[in-house]
Structure 1
């Protein structure tokens, strides 16, 4: 990344005359998708109290923009023995630069929610190191760091839901809600997207990512065997695949599986839901929640 010169004025996040900002950005770093799911869940809950949260993969975000954000939440998983997800490596290398001023993020409120597994020695290590580094660069951690454990009896959700509730309380305080304001627990958050009928332009520009991305390979499941005991609450599977292509991979690589449903199963579902008369109507995904 080229060297950047930033003035002190550009780093000032405080303005006593402005209304409290009700926007935040939620940056997730994931290997298997769990951190993204958590980020989406937190964003939905934030909308219940009027906060608009933009959710982005950290590798699709320009690190220099951090100094302009009103509030940042990092949702970070840990892979292997304390390693950050590959999507986060570029940002992490920038944050570790020795020439960054100690007040770079002065006035920037942030929070971190980490995902990990206590069966590994460096539990939630990536989240812990990120939290420490952000504070060393002047940012203010507004909420105790969340550390979700795969070994929790309820899985990640055992930590995610209570932590999110505490995070919402902090956001309510930052937004200066009246004293005694309670965050509703049963209110359905507004939808993040709407699904209008696709226009002719939408259909013309539509592309199937599996037709254009060489990283996708078709395969058949040759082995699907449960590894955990039948009476254990977790269903962990041993899977083997037969590929048409000569697939190369390295230890630690992660495979994302996109299953293909059988046509008769799809039709049975459509009949059950009474959607058969509109199942072939093309729709467009539109953002319903506006943000910065």
Structure 2
């Protein structure tokens, strides 16, 4: 129906203007507009307008729907996904936040708006929980996605060759399948907070512009956050006092592994076994001083880090990454120096990745010196010093307002210089007795004890990978869980490197720990590792799996985790009388059922 002065209370000019507006709107936009006008009228008069309730209901029914899919290994992508969901709801957008592992990918073609948030694991691989979705979307079974509007946020680390590869994969594939990109993909480095928040805002703005979504004043969101939630988080870490800092290794060991206990009293921070504690470390003052000296800069010169002003020395000690080189830093250094050799190197992806491995900022300065580099220019080139994550080695049910960590001090020689891990040696060597450590809790929903206290649990954790399993055992003891427990632990020497030995033996005497299987690689001529022990106990391990056991693996991602994965496939194939492909799929099914969980790094 066309409006005019004869069939409405409007003048001819008003009717013409309104007809022009309505003619350019789609159905769901008109529904939203009717609800908006009803609300606007009610605000003007203080009373609902005629038909206001029906119009508002229609507007609500037509509110745009956003599906937020995340693939997360450590929980960072999941955290941003939840933030996006909360902010979408606050704007009146119906948001559903789903782990890719739990999403039925054939639904994708029916979605209107999709946000994809994915981290990259290992050498450009999807996180464990995103494997099936990643495979499906890249297979011939993937549906056409014409009519689907999407955006991708990729999380990664620029010190790795395949930076944000999983996010890049999803972005390219969605476009190939006909989906329309709402916003440009953003690739986040380890310091992801600010770019992620900007992407979330851009994504929601784009949805509103496309669908005409309204900001809902009645969303119930408050500045104070959820009741009982701690004020301390990644952006505002809690200064946790150090309670204990003990060496776990015996005399003569060539390892230095620390058991560190921190107080969380009055922080309001809570955690569950399987979570990690994030800490903000400090760079070694000796390395900071050497860098400043090489560049002939003043350590007390004031530099600006966003809204923060501090000295150059403090900036390099507390706020900037100086021990890990990244491709963007190499490119900036090449442009600034004008060195032809360096410019050629940064153009070779494999070559520059190989050169960066085991080197730091001081190596870069010494190899390609520059003159006249200002302090602000230097700090502007460097990414933020990211927090380090440690698997929590305690159950809060057992230790109350404390959190425990198992930290291996990293020291090694590379390119004719002694090197060290930033956080591990800061915690081991440079903490005063009355020191505090800036911490926050990093939840990990993908590494959790089974809800069923009767379920058997198999824990595979060599070295510091044993940390979360100490938490698991404390938790199961506090719960009075009846399920059987089996630990595979490995290190170099029984007498010097059996971490938490007295606790494991006590749990075994009590009957809480049914099996303790160890592999000490240097105690005999032939090296023995946990994967060897897994094969040794194949028959019993298969029996546990048949009884519904959950398998957990924690530790080194480069060698241990793949080797353990291979050993498990061998066990399943041999004991289950399966082909290798069938055994591999069996293990994948365990992962889908959350019965095979890994926390590897």
- Structure having greater relative contact order (Cα 8 Å, sep ≥ 6): 1
Find the aligned partners of 2:117 and 2:142 in 1 and give their Cα distance. Answer: 23
Aligned equivalent of 1:264: none
Q: Which runs of 4+ in 1 moved over 4 A?
A: 18-21, 224-228, 241-245
Give CA-to-partner distance per residue, 1:81-121, whole Å, 9 cap, x none. 211111111111112223656xx111111111110111111
The answer to whether the aligner puts 1:35 opposite 2:77 as a matched pair is yes
1:63–1:100: structure 2 CA closer, same or farther, 3 Å change rule? closer
- Max radius of gyration: which structure? 2
Question: What's the CA shift for 1:47?
Answer: 1.9
* Secondary structure in 2 matching 1:255: strand
Q: 1:44 to 1:17 in 2, by over 3 A?
A: same
- CA distance in 1 between counterparts of 2:90 and 2:158 reads 32
Aligned mate of 2:487, from 246, 249, 253: 246
Equivalent position SS for 1:72: strand
Secondary structure of 2:199 counterpart? helix
Structure 1 vs Structure 2 CA RMSD: 3.4
TM-score (norm 1): 0.60
Deviation for aligned residue 1:168:
2.0
Give the whole-Å Cα distance in 1 for the aligned partners of 2:112 and 2:80: 21
Q: CA deviation at 1:174?
A: 1.5
Structure 1 distance, partners of 2:163, 2:97, is: 24
| Cα deviation digits, residues 160-200 of structure 1 (max 9, x gap) | 1111221121122012269xxxx79xx98369x999xxxxx
Q: Which residue of 2 aligns with 1:223?
A: 258
Q: How far apart in 2 are the matches of 1:149 and 1:172?
A: 28
In structure 2, relative to structure 1, the CA distance for the partners of 1:235 and 1:105 (3 Å cut) is closer
Unaligned runs of 5+ in 2: 1-25, 32-61, 228-247, 249-256, 261-278, 285-316, 320-385, 391-406, 409-463, 474-485, 489-529, 531-552, 562-597
Residue 210 of structure 2 aligns with which residue?
Answer: 174
Displacement of 1:235: 4.6
* Whole-angstrom distance in 2 between the partners of 1:188 and 1:92: 36
Distance 1:22 1:88, change over 3 A: same
| Alpha-carbon contact 1:111-1:142 (below 8 Å) kept | yes
Question: Residue 105 and residue 188 in structure 1: after superposition, are their counterparts in 2 closer, same or farther (change >3 A)?
Answer: same
* Residue 21 of structure 1, CA deviation: 4.2
> In the superposition, relative to structure 1, how do residues 49 and 100 fare at CA in structure 2: closer, same or farther (>3 Å)?
closer
Mapped to 2, the partners of 1:37 and 1:130 lie a distance apart of 19
In 1, Cα distance between equivalents of 2:599 and 2:142: 36
Match of 2:221 in 1: 189
Partner SS state of residue 599, structure 2: coil
Match of 2:97 in 1: 55
**Bigger proportion of residues as helix:** 2
Q: Is the Cα contact below 8 Å between 2:157 and 2:163 reproduced in 1?
A: yes
Deviations 1:23-44 (A, max 9, x none): 1110110101111001011111
Relative to structure 1, is the Cα distance of residues 246 and 161 closer, same or farther in structure 2, using a 3 angstrom cutoff?
A: same
Aligned to 2:172: 132
Q: Flag the 1:47–1:114 CA change in 2: closer, same or farther, 3 A.
A: same
Corresponding position: 1:119 with 2:205: no
Is 1:141 the counterpart of 2:181? The answer is yes
Partners of 1:144 and 1:124 in 2: CA distance: 14
- The alignment partner of 1:232 has SS state of helix
Q: CA deviation at 1:140?
A: 0.9
